[in-house]
Amino acid sequence: MERMVSTQKLKIGMYISGLDRPWLDTPFLTQGYFINDATDVEELQKYCKYIYIDIEKGIKADTYLDEPVGPSKHYLDDFLDHGKRQVEYEDQKSTLHEFPAAESALEEATLQVANLMDNARRGDNLDVQAIRAAVQPLLDSIIRNVDALQWMLKVQDDKNLYTQATNNCTLGIAFGRHLGLYKEDIRILAMGMLLLDVGKLKISAAILNKPGALSKAEFAVVKKHVAFGVKMLGNTPGIDEAIIKMVQTHHERVDGSGYPLGLEGKQIPPFGLIAAIIDTYNAMTSQTPYRDAIAPHKVLQELYKWRNKYFQAELVEQFLQCLGVYPTGSLVEMTSGEVGIVIAQNLRDRLKPTIRMLLDEQKNIWEISPIIDMATNLVDASGIERKILRALKPGAYGIDSSLTGVEEVSKVDPGNNVVNGRS
């Protein structure tokens, strides 16, 4: 377990598992090591204000900068009422500079998730260390930059239970970062989001992938994935209780209409409230055999309508702030007629994101797609102010993921029942 410690409180024998900045920005060659002497302490104090230690590998600190793992209801109330974050995160890299690392992180995480799920499908017990290993590269990338990895996930072709898990995990990290959670709290949230639907491994693919609406009996079978998941996690040594609670409550709704327990309001734990919003968003924006993908901005509009009915209102509003008016991965059409995909948010003005242009004014494909930061490129080639005319549904103008991918980034100078359904 990682804990956050001031570098003024370091001791010989501690195991350093993380820094307050990228490892590559420091002279430390090993990502994870023991403090062996006073020189190690001095070097860490020189470059870092705080670090993370693994208290299961090395000795513990006398005091920590973080609170016990898993935010309390009191903390979330305090944030939602007063906007007070535990940590104020800032991007350490631009979106374009983060792409190579994000691509590597996604490859590593995808392999880890596939191995994890394949082992669970064969009946093996889940492994906490394997879960952490699957989450870690995603966590590191999004802490450095919140947009790069989200774009990559949005445009990938292969949509299955594994990628849904990765999508949930990634959005969980991004939302936890937005809420200002401590890194270890975000890790717990991410691990839970990754495992939300692990119980579906026990359900027939014929039911999960059935085109069209499920029968009442089939839907009853699908709902069992929650109990299956809770049982699998209950047999996992070292799993945090907050993760089990997330899996158990991610289909609960604040008005009591959810399942399996029919909990309502404050009976639902904080991470369960968060998981419900993210899981619904990802399910609705994903293409499935039984439902076409819905444009992200349309899904956000629906979530806003459902605040205080299915989802906690304040968390919905924060989720909308986290993703922006045009979430990363959205297709948009400009007033000029150009069409592009949103690849990065502008936190100061959500109406002016960074866009990778895909089609020109005549809807022809760009040979090399220009990337436009609307905050600095205020006018188009005709001298007219750049504005987004509208958001588009997925696949508009015949655009597919092969066109919206990241393969050309290196050429650019980096200067049915959507609430209680199969989601």
Low-confidence ranges of the chain (pLDDT < 50): 67-70, 72, 406-422
| pLDDT of res. 76 | 66
User: What is residue 237's predicted lDDT score, i.e. its pLDDT?
Assistant: 87
3 state DSSP class of 175 = helix
How much is the pLDDT for 157? Answer: 52
Q: Tell me, what's the pLDDT at 214? A: 87
In this predicted structure, what is the pLDDT of residue 255?
95
Say what the pLDDT of residue 160 is: 65
- For the chain, the C-alpha Rg in angstroms (whole number) is 22
Q: What pLDDT score does 416 carry? A: 31
pTM for the model: 0.76
Classified as helix, coil or strand, 333 is strand
For residue 99, the model assigns a pLDDT of 84
Question: Which 3-state string (H, E, C) describes 44-97?
Answer: HHHHCCEEEEECCCCCCCCCCCCCCCCCCHHHHHHHHHHCCCCCCCCCCCCHHH
Enumerate the β-bridge partners of residue 33: 16
Task: Supply the pLDDT for residue 422.
Answer: 45
Domains of the chain in start order, with CATH, are 2-65 (no CATH), 95-323 (1.10.3210.10), 331-411 (no CATH)
pLDDT of residue 329: 84
pLDDT at 2: 76
Check if the beta carbon of residue 251 is closer than 8 Å to that of residue 268: no
H or E stretch covering 279: helix 270-285
Q: Is 24 exposed, middle or buried (0-12, 13-18, 19+ CB in 10 A)?
A: exposed
Amino acid letter for position 359: L
CA distance 365 to 367: 6
| Measured distance CA(4)–CA(6) in Å, rounded | 7
pLDDT of residue 243: 93
Which pLDDT belongs to residue 32?
86
